[in-house]
Amino acid sequence: MQTNYEKIVSVCSYCGSGCQIEFTVDKKANRIIEAKGAPGRTNEGRLCLKGFYGWDYLNDPKILTRRITQPMIRKGGKGSELEAVSWEEAIQYTADRLKAIIKEYGPDAVMGAGSARGPGNEAGYITQKFMRAVIGTNNVDHCARICHAASVAGLKQTIGEGAMSVSVPEIEDAEVIFNIGYNGATSHPIVARRIVKAKAKGAKIICADPQISETARIADIHLQQKGGTNLLLLNALAYTIIEEKLYDEQFIKDHVNGFEDFVPKLTGYAPEAVAHLIGVSAQQIRDAARMYASSKHSVILWGMGITQFSQGVDSVAACSNLAMLTGNYGHYATGVGPVRGQNNVQGTCDIGILPDVYPGYQSVTDAAVREKFEDAWGVKLSPNVGIKLTQVPEYVLEEKDPKKQIHAYYIIGEDPAQSDPNLEELRESLRKIDFVIVQDIFMNRTAEYADVLLPATAWGEHDAIYTSCDRGFQRVRKVIEPPEGVKTDWAILCEIATAMGYPMHYNNTEEIWDEMRKLAPKFTGATYAKIEALGGVQWPCYDESMDDKGTMFLHEGGHFATKDGRGNLVFTDYQPVKEEVDEEYPLSFCTVREVGHYSARTMTGNCRMLRQLEDEPGWIAMNPKDCEALGVEQGDLVRVRSRRGSLITRCLPTERAKEGATYMTYQWWIGACNELTLGELDPKSKTPEYKYCACRVEKLDDQAEAEEYVKSQYALIRAKNGIVKAGAGA
């Protein structure tokens, strides 16, 4: 029988595992029929539930929100309704307003946020080129700031390179895995699969996490520490490694600076002196140190439980210290894995959507580098490092000189009004900024503050390259035709640039990729043809010839990416979290991830299968004893309150949480965690302390009324997003 079905292989649009998926596509109906795991380097044919079912948003079932397919402008100014306009009008309007703001306040009055999600590396390259060459500022950043920026900064200090040194497939050959502040089973199920495989092959597992995660369940040692004590623990591990002479003297001599200065600073971090503050036994800490140091194939994996603290950078450096002390760098199945979150967050950093570097981590303050980009782009470029994403409220609300304030914010594929900390403050900033451009695929929460809304093609509707968490470039293919009325992210930017007097035109993504490759030596060798032929290429890849197949692990032979090629031990004293629990707010509040849903949930919230698993208003996980004391049971609606705001969610009693600790997944619009979180930032990376603040949980006596409230809020969200006809969400 003749069918219109076609098989197309692409890469998943959710987490950084970089799973390859084979889609069966009905070309005539322009619909995906089925998704199956393809034999990719990282996933070997496996997928998690989001890979199997997470593409339904392309069908726009209008559950939580809806696709945007027309450009819109608030013609009547702030507070007026968004009105659909033609692309010509939207582009001209945007260009004119940006030009007027630059004329009045200068280019640094404009801030840009790029996307680590659907658009891909080529659109990312155009985003930063637009901000730098067309606007004239380095004010460009993205959600890595609120994620792994601390890993980039902490590893830069110690070993000169912020990426995972180890690759996903190597994890299963590790002999010891030290998993700290990372919950792979939820966040990267297909990376977590390698931890399980390593265990089956005989590896020892140490898990440091205040909750009993899936990895904690299979760990040989679970350090169930008190939240916010990472640096105490990591310094105590370093202390033990040195005191018990478990370190690799030769490796340190040959490859590491600062040992003599480092050792005396650890006095005071003996396990016996700090264990009671961490909430584990001194013996456990010593056992963990011995286990970690027992192998030359020890891998440290970490995630947000390390980086989302005000001492995130210092804790990353402390992880790296352990690897340097024990010679666990520079050969197969060893090293560090700051496992990058989003499908293309590694790529978004690589491509220079950061306020201090051009593509390929080349510094904007290096005159020779700047000159190279000035020649390529034909403009003068700013030598000043730009503003970071989380500094936006400061530059809008605190800065009093209008010439130094942010007056325009161009937000591409990010939802700060859902994802950034301390939402009340963020909303105030968005209301105050003169001109907010939101370029997205869905109406998201930030769209409410947009003066212009620009609709883009989604993953599945355009070609691109994504970079997996372990530096792997992979081809992402157009699977179906986009809805009428949308344009690719890069084409929109090119049209605005052209309207602003800087003509930009590309025929396809390969042309953009080639321009980028030529300017970034680390990526020069990764041509489309090579990525296609090999199924993927891990950077660095310098040479275009087929002989250079890229790089599996970094720092081979202990040669680090620092100026002198040696690693640097960096010590910092521990400081407590910024907001401890007290009588008024007696529970700790930690925000984590829901396995079937993803970040701002515009995408998974509009997938029918996934919303069947979990939906608004989410859950707060608490120890059963705490639930009992409050008189609340599983499924009851409760109010959670912090000093900054409150929300309503459902109670989930679980032994996974220690007494006094609560966990909420941050995916919900009604149960929006960031109403509660703290705006405190790591001073070095400006990453927020999302993983710890104080809260209290209140019982709601009238459950029927609370249920009604949730229902009405859901209806309100849908109405605000313009869902007039009942879709699957009704």
Binding site residues, ligand SF4, CB under 6 A: 12, 14-15, 17-19, 43, 47-48, 50-51, 188-190
**Residues 644 and 668 sit within 8 Å (Cβ to Cβ):** no
Given Mo ion, ligand SF4, ligand MGD, none, residue 47, with its beta carbon under 5 to 8 Å by kind, binds ligand SF4
9 CB neighbour count, 10 Å cutoff: 18
* Min separation Cβ 156 and Mo ion, Å: 18
What is the nearest approach in angstroms of ligand SF4 to the Cβ of residue 411?
A: 24
CA–CA distance, 327 with 250 (Å, rounded to integer): 8
Among 313, 690, 706, 723, binds ligand MGD (CB under 6 A): 690
Binding residue for ligand MGD (CB under 6 A) from 112, 181, 347, 472?
181
Q: How many residues bind ligand MGD, per CB under 6 A?
A: 61
Give the SS3 label for residue 675: helix
Sign of the CA dihedral with 489 first, then 493, 498, and 502 last: negative
459 makes contact, choosing from ligand MGD, ligand SF4, Mo ion, none, with CB < 5 to 8 Å by partner type, with ligand MGD
Residues in 627-686 at the binding interface with ligand MGD, rule: CB under 6 A: 666, 673-674, 677
Q: What single letter denotes the amino acid at residue 579? A: E
- At position 437, the amino acid (one-letter code) is I
- Least distance (Å) from ligand SF4 to the CB of residue 730? 28
User: Nearer Cβ to Mo ion, position 587 or 592?
Assistant: 592
Dihedral angle over CA of 472, 185, 35, 456, nearest 10: -60
User: Of 45 and 683, which has the nearer Cβ to ligand SF4?
Assistant: 45
Structure tokens at 494: 């090119």
Question: Smaller CB distance to ligand MGD: residue 360 or 671?
Answer: 671
63 neighbors 611 (Cβ within 8 angstroms)? yes
CB of 257 to ligand MGD, least distance (A): 27
The least CB distance from residue 492 to ligand MGD, in Å, is 8
Picked from ligand SF4, ligand MGD, Mo ion, none, the partner binding residue 456 (CB below 5 to 8 A depending on kind) is ligand MGD
Which of 54, 107, 118, 525 touches ligand MGD by CB under 6 A? 118
Residue 203 near which of ligand SF4, Mo ion, ligand MGD, none (CB within 5-8 Å, type-dependent): none
Q: Which is nearer to ligand MGD, 452 or 456 (CB)?
A: 456
Which of Mo ion, ligand SF4, ligand MGD, none does residue 209 bind (CB under 5 to 8 Å by kind)? ligand MGD
3-state secondary structure labels for all residues of 444-471: CCHHHHCCEEEEECCCCCCCEEEECCCC
Candidates 21, 95, 146, 203; binder of ligand MGD (CB under 6 A) is 146
Compute the distance between CA of residue 310 and CA of residue 572 in angstroms, rounded to an integer: 13
Tokens standing for 378? 């034909």
Q: How far is CA 303 from CA 231, 350, 571, 673, in A?
A: 14, 19, 20, 19
Residue with tokens 């340097």: 324
User: Which of the choices ligand SF4, Mo ion, ligand MGD, none does residue 51 contact, using the CB cut-off of 5 to 8 A by kind?
Assistant: ligand SF4
Place of tokens 């965690």: 673
Does 117 sit near ligand MGD (CB under 6 A)? Answer: yes
Is 542:525 a contact under the CB 8 Å cutoff?
Answer: yes
Task: Please list the residues that pair with 34 across neighbouring strands.
Answer: 24
By CB under 6 A, tell whether 183 contacts ligand MGD.
Answer: yes
Which amino acid does the sequence have at 257? N
Q: How far is the CB of 312 from Mo ion (least distance, A)?
A: 13
From the list 15, 152, 191, 285, which residue makes contact with ligand MGD (rule: CB under 6 A)?
15
Question: 352 is in the binding site of which of Mo ion, ligand SF4, ligand MGD, none (Cβ under 5 to 8 A by kind)?
Answer: none
Per CB under 6 A, the segment of 472-480, 546-554, 592-600, 614-622 that binds ligand MGD is 592-600
- String of contacts with Mo ion for each residue 133-162, x by CB under 5 A: --------------x---------------
Residue 229, classed as helix, strand or coil, is coil
Nearest-approach distance from CB 667 to ligand MGD, in angstroms: 6
Residues 193-212 that bind ligand MGD (CB under 6 A): 208-211
Q: How far is the CB of 209 from ligand MGD (least distance, A)?
A: 5
What residues are paired with 452 via a beta bridge?
Answer: 73, 437
* Tokens standing for residue 526: 């990764």
Residue with smaller CB distance to Mo ion, 341 or 482 = 341
Helices in 631-702 by DSSP H: which ranges?
none
Question: Least Å distance between CB 611 and ligand SF4?
Answer: 16
Nearer to ligand MGD, 414 or 616 (CB): 414
Question: Which residues between 318 and 347 bind Mo ion (CB under 5 A)?
Answer: 341
Residue 17 contacts which entry, Mo ion, ligand MGD, ligand SF4, none (Cβ below 5-8 A, type-dependent)? ligand SF4
305 part of the interface to ligand MGD, by CB under 6 A:
yes
Give the one residue of 227, 335, 472, 483 binding ligand MGD; rule: CB under 6 A.
227
**631: exposed, middle or buried (C-beta count within 10 Å: 0-12, 13-18, 19+)?**
exposed
Q: What share of the chain is helix, strand, coil (3-state, %, to 5)?
A: 35, 20, 45
117's tokens: 């999600």
Residue (of 53, 60, 1) closest to 30 by Cα position: 60
Verify binding: residue 441, ligand MGD, rule CB under 6 A.
Answer: yes
Residue 230, Cβ density class (10 Å: 0-12 exposed, 13-18 middle, ≥19 buried): buried
Q: Which lies closer to Mo ion via its Cβ, residue 147 or residue 717?
A: 147
Could you count the other beta carbons within 10 Å of the beta carbon of residue 260?
A: 8
SS3 for 375?
Answer: helix
Element (H, E) at 23: strand 20-26
Q: Report the C-alpha gap between 122 and 508 in whole angstroms.
A: 9
Please identify, using beta-carbon distances, which residue of 209 and 616 lies nearer to ligand MGD.
209
Least separation in angstroms between residue 444's CB and ligand MGD is: 4
d(CA 333, CA 317): 20
Q: Supply 673's token pair.
A: 């965690």
User: DSSP string of 181-194?
Assistant: S--HHHH-HHHHHH
In the complex with ligand SF4, the residue whose CB is nearer, 184 or 210, is: 184
∠ Cα 420 614 707 (to 5°): 90
Specify the residue, 190 or 581, whose C-beta has the smaller distance to ligand SF4: 190
Structure tokens at 57: 């948003």
Residues that bind ligand MGD (CB under 6 A): 15, 115, 117-119, 143, 146-147, 180-183, 186-188, 208-211, 213, 225, 227-228, 230, 303-305, 308, 341-342, 412-415, 419, 439-442, 444, 456, 458-459, 489, 590-595, 597-600, 602, 666, 673-674, 677, 690-691
List of residues contacting Mo ion (CB under 5 A): 147, 341
